[in-house]
Amino acid sequence: MGKTLFEKIWESHIVVEKQNEPDLIYIDRHLVHEVTSPQAFDGLRMNNRKVRRPDLTIATMDHNVPTTDRSLPMLDETSSIQIKTLENNCKDFGIKLFDISSPNQGIVHVIGPQLGITLPGSTIVCGDSHTSTHGAFGALALGIGTSEVEHVLASQTLWLEKPKTFEVRVEGKRKNPHAVTAKDIILSIIKNIGTAGGTGTVIEYRGEGISDLSMDQRMTICNMSIEGGARAGLIAPDEKTFDYLRNREYTPKNYESLVDSWRDELKTDSDATFDKQFILDINDITPQVSWGTNPGMTCDVDEPIPSPDEFSNGDPNQKKGAEKALEYMDLKPGTMIEDIKIDRVFIGSCTNARLEDLIEASKIIQGQKVASTVSAMVVPGSQMVKKQAEEMGLDKIFTDANFEWREAGCSMCLGMNPDILSPGERCASTSNRNFEGRQGNGGRTHLVSPVMAAAAAINGHFVDVRKLDLN
């Protein structure tokens, strides 16, 4: 019987395999950042261990870095210590670090692909749940905790239970691909399968609706696999993938011969079967807006907010969850999405802060001004994205419209640096999680695409971007 892409990658990375034991899996690339690594390095020191493959380990700082002028000293002392600690750890253990002043600094999941570090068919881990992003290149990319980070640093391997396989087939064509984006596809998927729908599985996204997407868009899809509960998300590589990675700073020298073998090997066989399947038809999907406190609590832009009864389908916990979410979000069932007024706009994060995201958002902004009741910011995903955007003049478009234009980092996605919401503030955010307090204590997050966020900034409330001329 044929094999899925996931099974092929898994099997080619098994170091030790025994019945009723986990598989010991070899890790090709380990990405490290300042927040989930300090205790792992402490553990190595305590046990007198070295980093087994410093050449396969790459570090940057992204979670708590300031996004304001970096020539100024950092005000937050604990963040400053965490950043210094990563610098020292990388120096002590011989790990390549893109530090805060490096032109390659940025969100770890944005810089990996940009630098050609993320490769098809490889295994990638990082102490961050959104590592699933790299699956867009046909890599098996897993988010891990700090104990596992230490294990990989010490051994370049991990004991893993083999996940199940989950086919998410995206069929059809979007009628207006500038208005209905990859973010809307993945939010629709999570709305349907639920936040635990993918638990214990690796999702492979397939079908015309996926192969039509650019690499930046595919990363948005795979990025949010974890919000559907999956261990990872995968997309089989194709010519778009190979073109994207050609001639990057760290692209291997024998790249063309690698591409030849990837072309043959890295796909799911036609007779392979998956443990689970979900099909989404995107012919008629609309822009999506989350109304609650997890990414599954999402509805169409032209829909009213559902009542807890409608949302829960008779499940008492779901109903209670929806009631609590509406209370936290200060929203009422029946309110139309377009009537929701917002205070803040955040265009950023590993989900939606790549060049294409900024280009698409800028088309909405051009020649307009942010509503007087809204404060809005753009945080590019990496310094390289920032530079490319500036070369295209996008920064000017945003700043002319009264957006703030910041330095790269995770920023307001998770509220570790000073970029946070105040209690009660409502934000249209291109990030990935609308959990209570995620963007700051008491802050209210609506997950949307970059174009939806940009349009909300201009209008002061959500608008259906299908009504705008985006071509």
Partner 1 sequence: MRGNIIKYPRDNIDTDVIIPGQYLKVHDYAELATHAMEGLDPDFHSKVKEGDFILSGKNFGCGSSREHAPIALSHCGVKAILALSFARIFYRNSVDGAFLLPIEIDQDAYDGISEGDEIDIDISKNEIKNITKNQTYKMKPFSEIIGKIIAAGGLFKYKPDQD
| Residues of the shown chain interacting with partner 1 in the complex, contacts defined by CB under 8 A | 16, 18, 20-22, 24, 35-36, 38-39, 43, 47, 63-64, 76, 78-79, 81-82, 127-129, 131, 143-148, 150-151, 159, 161, 195-196, 199-200, 226, 229, 231, 294, 317-318, 320-321, 324, 414-416, 420, 433, 435-438, 441
Least spacing, CB of residue 368 vs partner 1, in Å: 32
Yes or no: say if 166 and 196 are a contact pair by the CB < 8 Å rule: no
Q: Which is nearer to partner 1, 43 or 333 (CB)?
A: 43
- Look at residues 253, 232, 201, 271 and name the one whose alpha carbon lies nearest to residue 122: 232
Q: Which is nearer to partner 1, 413 or 463 (CB)?
A: 413
Q: Which is nearer to partner 1, 147 or 283 (CB)?
A: 147
Least spacing, CB of residue 438 vs partner 1, in Å: 5
Q: Which is nearer to partner 1, 159 or 393 (CB)?
A: 159
Q: Which is nearer to partner 1, 127 or 348 (CB)?
A: 127
Q: Which is nearer to partner 1, 150 or 343 (CB)?
A: 150
d(CA 183, CA 360): 13
Least spacing, CB of residue 11 vs partner 1, in Å: 18
Least spacing, CB of residue 159 vs partner 1, in Å: 7
Q: Which is nearer to partner 1, 63 or 174 (CB)?
A: 63
Least spacing, CB of residue 263 vs partner 1, in Å: 32
Least spacing, CB of residue 148 vs partner 1, in Å: 6
User: Residue 424: exposed, middle, or buried by beta-carbon count in 10 A (0-12, 13-18, 19+)?
Assistant: exposed
Least spacing, CB of residue 35 vs partner 1, in Å: 5
